[in-house]
Amino acid sequence: MNIFLGDEVTWGSGAPRGRVVSTFDGQDDMDNVVTYASLKLTSDLRSPCGKVWSVGKVVTVPLAELRRLS
């Protein structure tokens, strides 16, 4: 499935949600080229340790981990 700018997406458990604002190529820890997406959160993101990233925060996630919401 292709992901496009403006798409609302999720990843991992499916609880986090964000809107794609940009994409870019970078390198992972093993120097492999990876495409990343910058996402503006559309719901709060809570980590298991209790840290919260609020709606509107921009986060970066590998594009391959994203799933488009219908």
* Two structure tokens written together for 17: 């949600």
The answer to the question of residue 16 being in a domain is yes
Q: In this predicted structure, what is the pLDDT of residue 6?
A: 96
CB atoms within 10 A of CB 10: 19
- 3 domain residue, yes or no: no
What Rg, from alpha-carbon coordinates, does the chain have? 12
- pLDDT for the residue numbered 1: 66
In a domain, 2, yes or no: no
Indicate the pTM of the whole model. Answer: 0.86
Number of domains in the chain: 1
What pLDDT, on a 0 to 100 scale, did the predictor assign at position 65? 95
Which domain covers residue 37, as residue numbers?
8-68
Report the chain (70 residues): mean pLDDT per 10 consecutive residues: 92 92 93 94 92 96 93
Evaluate whether residue 1 is within a structural domain: no
What CA–CA distances, in Å, run from 61 to 32, 56, 66?
A: 15, 15, 8
